[in-house]
Chains A and B, each alone.
Chain A
Amino acid sequence: MHEISLVQGLFQQLKDLADENSAQKITRVTMEIGPLCGVVLDSFQFGFEILSADDEMLRGAKLIVKIPDVSYKCTECGHVEVIAGPRPEECPKCKDLLLIPTGGEDLILLQVEME
Protein backbone atom coordinates (compact mmCIF):
# COMPACT_ATOMS: atom_id res chain seq x y z
CA MET A 1 0.00 0.00 0.00
CA HIS A 2 2.52 2.62 -1.08
CA GLU A 3 -0.48 4.37 -2.66
CA ILE A 4 -1.33 5.92 0.71
CA SER A 5 2.10 7.51 1.03
CA LEU A 6 1.81 8.79 -2.54
CA VAL A 7 -1.57 10.36 -1.72
CA GLN A 8 -0.03 11.96 1.37
CA GLY A 9 2.69 13.47 -0.80
CA LEU A 10 0.05 14.66 -3.26
CA PHE A 11 -1.94 16.36 -0.49
CA GLN A 12 1.14 18.23 0.68
CA GLN A 13 1.69 19.43 -2.88
CA LEU A 14 -1.98 20.48 -3.17
CA LYS A 15 -1.86 22.42 0.09
CA ASP A 16 1.26 24.26 -1.04
CA LEU A 17 -0.52 25.15 -4.28
CA ALA A 18 -3.60 26.34 -2.38
CA ASP A 19 -1.42 28.50 -0.12
CA GLU A 20 0.38 30.03 -3.09
CA ASN A 21 -2.98 30.91 -4.61
CA SER A 22 -4.65 31.99 -1.35
CA ALA A 23 -7.36 29.34 -1.76
CA GLN A 24 -9.22 27.72 1.14
CA LYS A 25 -10.63 24.64 -0.56
CA ILE A 26 -9.44 22.15 -3.14
CA THR A 27 -12.50 21.07 -5.11
CA ARG A 28 -11.21 18.93 -7.94
CA VAL A 29 -7.97 17.11 -8.67
CA THR A 30 -7.13 15.63 -12.07
CA MET A 31 -4.46 12.92 -12.16
CA GLU A 32 -2.87 10.89 -14.91
CA ILE A 33 -2.10 7.39 -13.69
CA GLY A 34 0.04 5.35 -16.10
CA PRO A 35 -0.91 1.67 -16.36
CA LEU A 36 2.74 0.74 -15.75
CA CYS A 37 3.55 3.16 -12.93
CA GLY A 38 3.11 0.55 -10.22
CA VAL A 39 0.10 2.21 -8.64
CA VAL A 40 -3.14 0.34 -8.13
CA LEU A 41 -5.96 2.63 -9.21
CA ASP A 42 -8.45 1.35 -6.63
CA SER A 43 -5.94 1.76 -3.79
CA PHE A 44 -5.07 5.27 -4.92
CA GLN A 45 -8.76 6.24 -5.09
CA PHE A 46 -9.37 4.64 -1.70
CA GLY A 47 -6.42 6.51 -0.19
CA PHE A 48 -7.69 9.77 -1.69
CA GLU A 49 -11.16 9.14 -0.29
CA ILE A 50 -10.19 8.34 3.29
CA LEU A 51 -7.45 10.95 3.61
CA SER A 52 -9.52 13.75 2.05
CA ALA A 53 -12.47 13.01 4.36
CA ASP A 54 -10.14 13.76 7.24
CA ASP A 55 -8.81 17.01 5.86
CA GLU A 56 -10.51 20.40 6.08
CA MET A 57 -9.04 21.73 2.87
CA LEU A 58 -9.69 18.61 0.80
CA ARG A 59 -13.00 17.35 2.18
CA GLY A 60 -15.38 16.62 -0.71
CA ALA A 61 -12.70 17.12 -3.36
CA LYS A 62 -13.33 15.14 -6.51
CA LEU A 63 -10.63 12.94 -8.01
CA ILE A 64 -10.60 12.62 -11.79
CA VAL A 65 -8.29 9.97 -13.22
CA LYS A 66 -7.02 9.81 -16.79
CA ILE A 67 -5.31 6.66 -18.02
CA PRO A 68 -2.74 7.32 -20.76
CA ASP A 69 -1.97 4.99 -23.68
CA VAL A 70 1.08 2.76 -23.67
CA SER A 71 2.97 1.81 -26.85
CA TYR A 72 4.18 -1.77 -27.12
CA LYS A 73 6.82 -2.40 -29.76
CA CYS A 74 7.28 -5.93 -31.03
CA THR A 75 10.95 -6.98 -30.93
CA GLU A 76 10.37 -9.39 -33.83
CA CYS A 77 8.42 -7.49 -36.52
CA GLY A 78 8.62 -3.93 -35.20
CA HIS A 79 4.87 -3.46 -35.06
CA VAL A 80 3.75 -0.86 -32.49
CA GLU A 81 0.50 -1.48 -30.66
CA VAL A 82 -0.92 1.50 -28.75
CA ILE A 83 -3.45 0.74 -26.00
CA ALA A 84 -4.57 2.01 -22.61
CA GLY A 85 -5.84 -1.36 -21.40
CA PRO A 86 -3.92 -4.33 -20.04
CA ARG A 87 -0.65 -5.44 -21.60
CA PRO A 88 -1.19 -7.45 -24.81
CA GLU A 89 -0.27 -11.13 -24.49
CA GLU A 90 1.42 -11.22 -27.89
CA CYS A 91 2.06 -9.11 -30.98
CA PRO A 92 -1.24 -8.90 -32.88
CA LYS A 93 0.70 -9.01 -36.19
CA CYS A 94 3.31 -11.76 -35.85
CA LYS A 95 2.28 -13.39 -32.53
CA ASP A 96 5.76 -12.89 -31.08
CA LEU A 97 5.82 -12.61 -27.28
CA LEU A 98 8.57 -10.07 -26.70
CA LEU A 99 7.07 -6.57 -26.57
CA ILE A 100 8.82 -3.48 -25.22
CA PRO A 101 6.53 -0.90 -23.60
CA THR A 102 7.01 2.86 -23.84
CA GLY A 103 5.12 5.36 -21.70
CA GLY A 104 2.56 4.76 -18.98
CA GLU A 105 5.16 4.83 -16.22
CA ASP A 106 4.35 8.14 -14.61
CA LEU A 107 1.92 9.40 -12.03
CA ILE A 108 1.12 13.02 -12.82
CA LEU A 109 -0.87 15.75 -11.14
CA LEU A 110 -2.44 17.43 -14.17
CA GLN A 111 -4.85 20.03 -12.87
CA VAL A 112 -6.27 21.42 -9.64
CA GLU A 113 -9.43 23.39 -9.05
CA MET A 114 -9.62 25.46 -5.88
CA GLU A 115 -11.58 28.27 -4.40
Chain B
Amino acid sequence: MCDTCGCPSPSDHTHDHSHNHSNPKTIDVHASLFAANDALARVNREHFDEIGAVALNLISSPGSGKTTLLEHTIEALKGEINIAVIEGDIETERDAERIRAKGVPVIQLTTGGACHLDAAMTHKGFHRLQKEPGGDKIDLLFIENVGNLVCPATFDLGEHERVVFVSVPEGPDKPSKYPKAFISSQTFVITKTDLLPYFDFPVAEARGDALRLNPNLRTMELASTTGEGMETWLNYLRELVAAKKAQKNV
Protein backbone atom coordinates (compact mmCIF):
# COMPACT_ATOMS: atom_id res chain seq x y z
CA MET B 1 0.00 0.00 0.00
CA CYS B 2 1.06 3.55 -0.66
CA ASP B 3 2.30 5.30 2.47
CA THR B 4 1.25 8.71 1.23
CA CYS B 5 -2.38 8.19 0.50
CA GLY B 6 -3.14 4.55 1.19
CA CYS B 7 -3.99 3.85 -2.44
CA PRO B 8 -3.16 0.32 -3.57
CA SER B 9 -0.53 0.90 -6.26
CA PRO B 10 2.21 3.23 -5.07
CA SER B 11 4.51 2.74 -8.04
CA ASP B 12 1.90 3.11 -10.75
CA HIS B 13 1.04 6.77 -10.50
CA THR B 14 2.18 10.14 -9.37
CA HIS B 15 0.24 11.99 -6.71
CA ASP B 16 -1.22 14.65 -8.91
CA HIS B 17 -4.79 13.51 -8.46
CA SER B 18 -7.11 14.02 -5.56
CA HIS B 19 -7.37 11.20 -3.09
CA ASN B 20 -11.05 10.66 -2.77
CA HIS B 21 -11.03 7.05 -3.98
CA SER B 22 -14.55 5.82 -3.77
CA ASN B 23 -14.89 2.93 -1.32
CA PRO B 24 -11.67 0.97 -1.83
CA LYS B 25 -12.52 -2.60 -1.09
CA THR B 26 -10.53 -5.78 -0.64
CA ILE B 27 -12.27 -9.05 -1.32
CA ASP B 28 -10.94 -12.51 -0.47
CA VAL B 29 -12.04 -14.78 -3.25
CA HIS B 30 -10.00 -17.99 -3.19
CA ALA B 31 -11.50 -19.43 -6.36
CA SER B 32 -9.68 -21.73 -8.75
CA LEU B 33 -9.42 -20.50 -12.33
CA PHE B 34 -9.89 -24.11 -13.34
CA ALA B 35 -13.10 -24.35 -11.32
CA ALA B 36 -15.49 -23.62 -14.20
CA ASN B 37 -13.76 -26.09 -16.51
CA ASP B 38 -13.46 -28.73 -13.78
CA ALA B 39 -17.16 -28.43 -12.87
CA LEU B 40 -18.17 -28.99 -16.48
CA ALA B 41 -15.66 -31.83 -16.77
CA ARG B 42 -17.39 -33.53 -13.84
CA VAL B 43 -20.72 -33.16 -15.63
CA ASN B 44 -19.19 -34.75 -18.73
CA ARG B 45 -17.78 -37.64 -16.70
CA GLU B 46 -21.14 -38.29 -15.03
CA HIS B 47 -22.77 -38.27 -18.44
CA PHE B 48 -20.26 -40.81 -19.79
CA ASP B 49 -20.84 -42.94 -16.68
CA GLU B 50 -24.58 -42.80 -17.18
CA ILE B 51 -24.40 -44.24 -20.67
CA GLY B 52 -21.72 -46.72 -19.58
CA ALA B 53 -18.97 -45.38 -21.85
CA VAL B 54 -15.25 -45.17 -21.05
CA ALA B 55 -13.74 -41.86 -22.19
CA LEU B 56 -10.05 -41.50 -23.02
CA ASN B 57 -8.29 -38.18 -23.62
CA LEU B 58 -5.42 -38.70 -26.08
CA ILE B 59 -2.56 -36.21 -25.83
CA SER B 60 0.60 -35.92 -27.92
CA SER B 61 2.61 -33.72 -30.25
CA PRO B 62 1.30 -33.37 -33.81
CA GLY B 63 2.20 -36.37 -35.94
CA SER B 64 2.75 -38.97 -33.21
CA GLY B 65 0.37 -41.37 -34.96
CA LYS B 66 -2.78 -41.00 -32.84
CA THR B 67 -5.20 -41.05 -35.77
CA THR B 68 -3.43 -43.98 -37.42
CA LEU B 69 -3.54 -45.90 -34.14
CA LEU B 70 -7.28 -45.17 -33.89
CA GLU B 71 -7.85 -46.46 -37.44
CA HIS B 72 -6.12 -49.74 -36.60
CA THR B 73 -7.85 -49.96 -33.21
CA ILE B 74 -11.30 -49.55 -34.78
CA GLU B 75 -10.48 -52.29 -37.31
CA ALA B 76 -9.25 -54.65 -34.61
CA LEU B 77 -12.19 -54.15 -32.24
CA LYS B 78 -14.94 -54.10 -34.87
CA GLY B 79 -17.96 -56.10 -33.71
CA GLU B 80 -16.53 -56.33 -30.21
CA ILE B 81 -16.57 -52.79 -28.79
CA ASN B 82 -18.66 -49.82 -29.97
CA ILE B 83 -16.17 -47.02 -30.51
CA ALA B 84 -16.85 -43.33 -31.09
CA VAL B 85 -14.38 -40.50 -31.63
CA ILE B 86 -14.20 -36.77 -30.99
CA GLU B 87 -11.42 -35.28 -33.09
CA GLY B 88 -9.83 -32.01 -31.96
CA ASP B 89 -7.78 -29.93 -34.37
CA ILE B 90 -7.16 -26.28 -35.01
CA GLU B 91 -8.45 -26.54 -38.58
CA THR B 92 -9.84 -29.08 -41.10
CA GLU B 93 -12.12 -32.10 -41.05
CA ARG B 94 -9.37 -34.42 -42.28
CA ASP B 95 -8.96 -36.59 -39.19
CA ALA B 96 -12.71 -37.02 -38.80
CA GLU B 97 -12.97 -38.09 -42.45
CA ARG B 98 -10.30 -40.76 -41.88
CA ILE B 99 -12.19 -42.11 -38.86
CA ARG B 100 -15.60 -41.84 -40.57
CA ALA B 101 -14.22 -44.02 -43.37
CA LYS B 102 -13.83 -46.76 -40.74
CA GLY B 103 -17.57 -46.65 -40.08
CA VAL B 104 -17.75 -45.36 -36.52
CA PRO B 105 -19.51 -42.21 -35.23
CA VAL B 106 -17.15 -39.26 -35.22
CA ILE B 107 -17.32 -35.50 -35.01
CA GLN B 108 -14.59 -32.96 -35.60
CA LEU B 109 -14.04 -30.05 -33.24
CA THR B 110 -12.06 -27.28 -34.88
CA THR B 111 -10.84 -24.88 -32.24
CA GLY B 112 -10.09 -22.10 -34.74
CA GLY B 113 -6.69 -21.38 -33.24
CA ALA B 114 -7.01 -22.56 -29.65
CA CYS B 115 -4.22 -24.91 -28.65
CA HIS B 116 -6.32 -27.33 -26.58
CA LEU B 117 -9.80 -28.73 -26.05
CA ASP B 118 -11.68 -27.79 -22.89
CA ALA B 119 -14.63 -29.32 -21.05
CA ALA B 120 -17.16 -26.97 -22.72
CA MET B 121 -16.05 -27.89 -26.25
CA THR B 122 -16.08 -31.57 -25.32
CA HIS B 123 -19.58 -31.22 -23.88
CA LYS B 124 -20.98 -29.67 -27.06
CA GLY B 125 -19.03 -32.12 -29.19
CA PHE B 126 -20.39 -35.12 -27.33
CA HIS B 127 -24.00 -34.00 -27.80
CA ARG B 128 -23.36 -33.66 -31.53
CA LEU B 129 -21.71 -37.07 -31.53
CA GLN B 130 -24.75 -38.70 -29.94
CA LYS B 131 -26.87 -37.54 -32.89
CA GLU B 132 -24.55 -39.24 -35.40
CA PRO B 133 -25.59 -42.68 -36.71
CA GLY B 134 -24.47 -45.17 -34.02
CA GLY B 135 -23.92 -42.39 -31.51
CA ASP B 136 -26.62 -43.77 -29.23
CA LYS B 137 -24.54 -46.84 -28.40
CA ILE B 138 -21.00 -46.06 -27.25
CA ASP B 139 -18.73 -48.28 -25.13
CA LEU B 140 -15.48 -46.46 -25.72
CA LEU B 141 -15.04 -42.78 -26.53
CA PHE B 142 -11.70 -41.50 -27.80
CA ILE B 143 -11.18 -37.77 -27.50
CA GLU B 144 -8.21 -36.95 -29.70
CA ASN B 145 -6.90 -33.66 -28.34
CA VAL B 146 -5.19 -30.94 -30.40
CA GLY B 147 -1.61 -32.00 -31.18
CA ASN B 148 0.29 -30.26 -28.39
CA LEU B 149 2.07 -31.66 -25.33
CA VAL B 150 1.71 -28.48 -23.28
CA CYS B 151 -1.70 -26.82 -23.05
CA PRO B 152 -4.05 -29.85 -23.22
CA ALA B 153 -2.44 -31.20 -20.04
CA THR B 154 -4.05 -28.43 -17.99
CA PHE B 155 -7.67 -29.07 -19.00
CA ASP B 156 -9.78 -31.91 -17.67
CA LEU B 157 -12.34 -32.87 -20.33
CA GLY B 158 -14.21 -35.34 -18.14
CA GLU B 159 -12.21 -38.32 -19.36
CA HIS B 160 -11.75 -41.43 -17.21
CA GLU B 161 -8.16 -41.86 -18.25
CA ARG B 162 -5.60 -39.78 -20.06
CA VAL B 163 -3.15 -41.36 -22.49
CA VAL B 164 0.00 -39.58 -23.61
CA PHE B 165 1.84 -40.66 -26.78
CA VAL B 166 5.40 -40.10 -27.95
CA SER B 167 6.57 -41.42 -31.31
CA VAL B 168 10.09 -42.70 -31.85
CA PRO B 169 11.14 -39.94 -34.31
CA GLU B 170 10.33 -37.28 -31.69
CA GLY B 171 13.13 -38.42 -29.41
CA PRO B 172 13.19 -39.81 -25.87
CA ASP B 173 13.40 -36.52 -23.97
CA LYS B 174 9.71 -35.56 -24.20
CA PRO B 175 8.77 -36.68 -20.66
CA SER B 176 11.50 -34.52 -19.15
CA LYS B 177 10.68 -31.53 -21.33
CA TYR B 178 6.89 -31.66 -21.00
CA PRO B 179 6.34 -33.09 -17.52
CA LYS B 180 2.74 -32.00 -16.96
CA ALA B 181 1.39 -34.22 -19.74
CA PHE B 182 3.07 -37.24 -18.15
CA ILE B 183 2.22 -36.36 -14.54
CA SER B 184 -1.47 -35.99 -15.39
CA SER B 185 -1.76 -39.16 -17.51
CA GLN B 186 -2.48 -42.75 -16.51
CA THR B 187 -0.92 -44.37 -19.56
CA PHE B 188 2.17 -43.62 -21.66
CA VAL B 189 2.43 -45.16 -25.13
CA ILE B 190 5.56 -45.06 -27.28
CA THR B 191 4.45 -45.29 -30.93
CA LYS B 192 6.18 -46.09 -34.25
CA THR B 193 8.53 -48.61 -32.62
CA ASP B 194 9.07 -50.09 -36.10
CA LEU B 195 11.36 -47.07 -36.64
CA LEU B 196 13.62 -47.86 -33.65
CA PRO B 197 16.43 -49.20 -35.90
CA TYR B 198 16.66 -45.81 -37.63
CA PHE B 199 16.50 -43.44 -34.66
CA ASP B 200 18.45 -42.97 -31.47
CA PHE B 201 15.59 -43.64 -29.07
CA PRO B 202 16.53 -45.51 -25.89
CA VAL B 203 13.11 -46.86 -24.88
CA ALA B 204 14.20 -47.58 -21.30
CA GLU B 205 15.39 -44.01 -20.85
CA ALA B 206 12.12 -42.48 -22.10
CA ARG B 207 10.11 -44.89 -19.96
CA GLY B 208 12.34 -44.24 -16.92
CA ASP B 209 12.05 -40.47 -17.25
CA ALA B 210 8.27 -40.72 -17.45
CA LEU B 211 8.07 -43.05 -14.44
CA ARG B 212 10.26 -40.72 -12.46
CA LEU B 213 7.65 -38.01 -12.97
CA ASN B 214 4.73 -40.34 -12.37
CA PRO B 215 5.54 -43.72 -10.82
CA ASN B 216 1.95 -44.90 -11.37
CA LEU B 217 2.07 -44.60 -15.18
CA ARG B 218 1.19 -47.68 -17.20
CA THR B 219 3.63 -47.88 -20.12
CA MET B 220 3.50 -49.68 -23.46
CA GLU B 221 5.21 -49.62 -26.84
CA LEU B 222 3.64 -50.32 -30.21
CA ALA B 223 3.72 -49.87 -33.98
CA SER B 224 0.20 -49.60 -35.42
CA THR B 225 1.27 -50.25 -39.00
CA THR B 226 3.11 -53.54 -38.25
CA GLY B 227 0.84 -54.60 -35.38
CA GLU B 228 3.75 -55.01 -32.98
CA GLY B 229 2.62 -54.38 -29.39
CA MET B 230 -0.98 -53.81 -30.49
CA GLU B 231 -2.36 -56.67 -28.41
CA THR B 232 -1.22 -55.00 -25.15
CA TRP B 233 -2.97 -51.79 -26.20
CA LEU B 234 -6.15 -53.59 -27.25
CA ASN B 235 -6.24 -55.59 -24.01
CA TYR B 236 -5.86 -52.39 -22.03
CA LEU B 237 -8.92 -50.99 -23.85
CA ARG B 238 -10.87 -54.25 -23.38
CA GLU B 239 -10.15 -54.19 -19.64
CA LEU B 240 -11.28 -50.57 -19.31
CA VAL B 241 -14.54 -51.30 -21.13
CA ALA B 242 -15.16 -54.49 -19.13
CA ALA B 243 -14.53 -52.66 -15.84
CA LYS B 244 -16.97 -49.92 -16.81
CA LYS B 245 -19.64 -52.48 -17.75
CA ALA B 246 -19.14 -54.29 -14.43
CA GLN B 247 -19.42 -50.98 -12.59
CA LYS B 248 -22.63 -50.17 -14.40
CA ASN B 249 -24.17 -53.54 -13.59
CA VAL B 250 -23.48 -53.25 -9.84
Residues of A within 8 A of B (CB): 1-2, 5-6, 9-10, 13, 17, 21, 23-24, 27-28, 36-39, 60-62, 75, 87, 97-101, 106-115
A21 to B25, CA, bound (A): 9
Structural contact, B151 and A2, CB atoms closer than 8 A:
yes
- B27: which A residues are within 8 A, CB to CB? 17, 21, 111-114
Most A CB atoms within 10 A — which of B25, B150, B215? B25
- Is B226 positioned at the interface, with any CB of A under 8 Å from its CB? no
Q: Does B101 contact A (CB under 8 A)?
A: no
Interface of B toward A, CB cutoff 8 Å: 7-9, 12-13, 21-34, 36, 114-116, 150-151, 153-155, 179-180, 183-184, 208, 211-212, 215
Known: A28-B8, A87-B179. A113 touches B25 (CB 8 A): yes
Which of A5, A106, A108 has a CB less than 8 Å from the CB of B114?
A5
Among A10, A75, A100, the residue within 8 A (CB) of B33 is: A10
In the complex, which residues of chain A have a beta carbon less than 8 angstroms from the beta carbon of B30?
A: 108-110
| Cross-chain contact B24 with A107 (CB below 8 angstroms) | no
In addition to A87-B179, A110-B28, A115-B25, 13 A-B residue pairs with Cβ atoms within 8 Å of each other are: A9-B36, A23-B25, A27-B24, A37-B154, A39-B154, A99-B212, A106-B32, A108-B31, A108-B33, A109-B31, A113-B24, A113-B25, A113-B26
